[in-house]
Amino acid sequence: MTKTPKATRTEWLRRAREALGGAVTSFVLPESHAIVLSHGLGSRVVDVDGRDYIDYVLGSGPLILGHAHPAIVEAVSRQAALGSTFYTLTPAAIELAEEIIRAVPCAEQIKFVSTGTEATFHALRIARAYTGRTKILKFEGAFHGVHDYALISAFPAVPSDLPKGQPDSAGIPPQVAETVLVSRWNDLDVTRALIEQHAEELAAVICEPLQRALPPAPGFLNGLRELTERYGILLIFDEVVTGFRLAYGGAQERYGVVPDLATFGKALSGGYPLAAIAGRREIMALTDPTRRSRGEPVAHLSGTLNGNPLAAAAGLATLHVLRQPGVYDYLYRISEQLRTGLRELAAARGIPLQVIGEGPVLQIVFAEEEPRDYAALLRADRERAVRFGLACLERGLFVNPGEKLYLSLAHSEADIARTLEIFSAALDTVLSDANATASD
């Protein structure tokens, strides 16, 4: 009997173009570099042609333990055999909520949703319901998911005319944009002036405490905490990226600033669809569904798969590993090896390059100076960063060119050493491209 040959990358890509418009998320590689993945194990992913890569995308962050971690596979398999979803309370969801409360300083009560987008959407709604105010303030370049309130000046092509934001997508009603004020990350003076001017109408200030890969300037988060407290505005930390990643208690533990509400996703459930809103009990009480029958205001929050037991089981298994001693030391140590190694490689070639981020979240920026805000990132050489990323892909690193890199516990020191060899070759490519352009 002749075996049907397996479809190749080219064939899968043709079918994907036809059926999916070529992508399942906004992450799209150029046709020449597009990849269809077959499976992943630990720090590696393998494509449909059998080519393997060291993975620095990690599912856009969730896989802090790496791919197919045995503890997660075991926990999910066990739960799957018991049933996959119930639309009601389960021990897995209750235990996961309790563990988040133990871990996260601001967490007195939890609500589960399925995505980070839902988490920030609901956190903002809860803040409006709690304060009776309409507007929110966010920061230029901060990403909080893809709902209409989040897609205001998340990635504008040119700096925004603050505090007016620019919708990042067609289809966002202008009325929504009018309820979102935009400030400049790490600029406490501009932010203070905006908050003071709009205090009466502001329900919340929302930020990523590590904005993409831009760390907060010393005192900036404390300044936000102080101002929001003074004017009765809720401070929301979007910890979808930083939660359980910068420290077990997230950025709020790492930076020592406690918000009123925080959102979690990604690492929390180790690659299964679950996200959470955490916060002070009296604020979270607004989501109590029984309030409606008592005629009290309610911030309605529901979802078919909320607190899904498969995802909750994956979350419990993930957090069990993450709270073992030495875990964060290891993540910070290998990250530092990568940062230092890359900086040395760039310096030896006279290439202006910055590695920004914190711990296991890194971004490579081609610029003379370390950027502190989104406008500075816009001034950096993004084209070069993308070329560098593509050169890494060609040599066996799975990266999203020009975007963040994530590290996991599955990355070994040997992976870091191999990655630095590839970085070295990719920097040479970038240099020879530049020399070729110069001599054209």
Q: Name which position in 43, 79, 120, 354 contacts ligand PLP (CB under 6 A).
A: 120
Contact code string over 364-403 relative to ligand PLP, x by CB under 6 A: ----------------------------------------
Both tokens of residue 193? 């002036």
Using rule CB under 6 A, residue 60 touches ligand PLP:
yes
Bridge partners (DSSP) of residue 398 are 55
Min dist CB 121 to ligand PLP, Å, is 9
Q: Are 397 and 417 in contact (CB under 8 A)?
A: no
- Count Cβ atoms below 10 Å from residue 83 Cβ, excluding itself: 10
Q: How many residues bind ligand PLP (CB under 6 A)?
A: 14
Using rule CB under 6 A, residue 116 touches ligand PLP:
yes
Contacts of 273 (CB under 8 A, 6+ apart): 114, 115, 305, 308, 311
Both tokens of residue 114? 């399925």
Q: Name which position in 208, 260, 358, 415 contacts ligand PLP (CB under 6 A).
A: 208
Using rule CB under 6 A, residue 195 touches ligand PLP:
no
Q: Name which position in 75, 104, 236, 240 contacts ligand PLP (CB under 6 A).
A: 240
Judged by CB under 6 A, the stretch of 82-90, 92-100, 137-145, 329-337 that binds ligand PLP is 137-145
Using rule CB under 6 A, residue 354 touches ligand PLP:
no
Cα–Cα distance measured from residue 193 to residue 170, given in angstroms and rounded to the nearest whole number: 30
Tokens 């491209």, residue located: 433
Judged by CB under 6 A, the stretch of 84-92, 111-119, 246-254, 280-288 that binds ligand PLP is 111-119
Min dist CB 60 to ligand PLP, Å, is 6
CA distances from 410 to 43, 66, 156, 416 (A): 5, 5, 35, 11
Judged by CB under 6 A, the stretch of 91-99, 116-124, 157-165, 330-338 that binds ligand PLP is 116-124
Cα–Cα distance measured from residue 72 to residue 59, given in angstroms and rounded to the nearest whole number: 15
Using rule CB under 6 A, residue 335 touches ligand PLP:
no
* Exposure string for 155-174, b = 16+ CB within 10 A, e = fewer: bbeebbebbebbbbeeebee
Using rule CB under 6 A, residue 117 touches ligand PLP:
yes
Q: Which residue, 155 or 332, has its beta carbon nearer to ligand PLP?
A: 155
Q: Name which position in 243, 265, 341, 360 contacts ligand PLP (CB under 6 A).
A: 265
Judged by CB under 6 A, the stretch of 2-10, 114-122, 188-196, 374-382 that binds ligand PLP is 114-122
Q: Can you state the percent helix, strand and coil of the chain, rounding each to 5?
A: 45, 15, 40
Judged by CB under 6 A, the stretch of 140-148, 290-298, 349-357, 412-420 that binds ligand PLP is 140-148
Q: Name which position in 12, 112, 143, 149 contacts ligand PLP (CB under 6 A).
A: 143
Cα–Cα distance measured from residue 50 to residue 48, given in angstroms and rounded to the nearest whole number: 5
Tell me if residue 12 falls in helix, strand or coil: helix
- Count Cβ atoms below 10 Å from residue 123 Cβ, excluding itself: 29
Q: What are phi and psi of 87, to 5 degrees?
A: 60, 30
Q: Name which position in 65, 241, 267, 362 contacts ligand PLP (CB under 6 A).
A: 241
Judged by CB under 6 A, the stretch of 121-129, 142-150, 153-161, 190-198 that binds ligand PLP is 142-150
Using rule CB under 6 A, residue 238 touches ligand PLP:
yes
Q: Which residue, 221 or 430, has its beta carbon nearer to ligand PLP?
A: 221
Q: Which residue, 315 or 341, has its beta carbon nearer to ligand PLP?
A: 315
Cα–Cα distance measured from residue 143 to residue 271, given in angstroms and rounded to the nearest whole number: 20
* Residue nearest ligand PLP (C-beta atom): 116
Q: Are 326 and 248 in contact (CB under 8 A)?
A: no
Q: Name which position in 40, 42, 66, 145 contacts ligand PLP (CB under 6 A).
A: 145
Cα–Cα distance measured from residue 219 to residue 53, given in angstroms and rounded to the nearest whole number: 40
Min dist CB 210 to ligand PLP, Å, is 9
Strand order across the 37-41 sheet: 37-41, 44-47, 52-55, 397-398
What is the contact surface with ligand PLP in residues (CB under 6 A)? 60, 115-117, 120, 143-145, 208, 238, 240-241, 265, 275
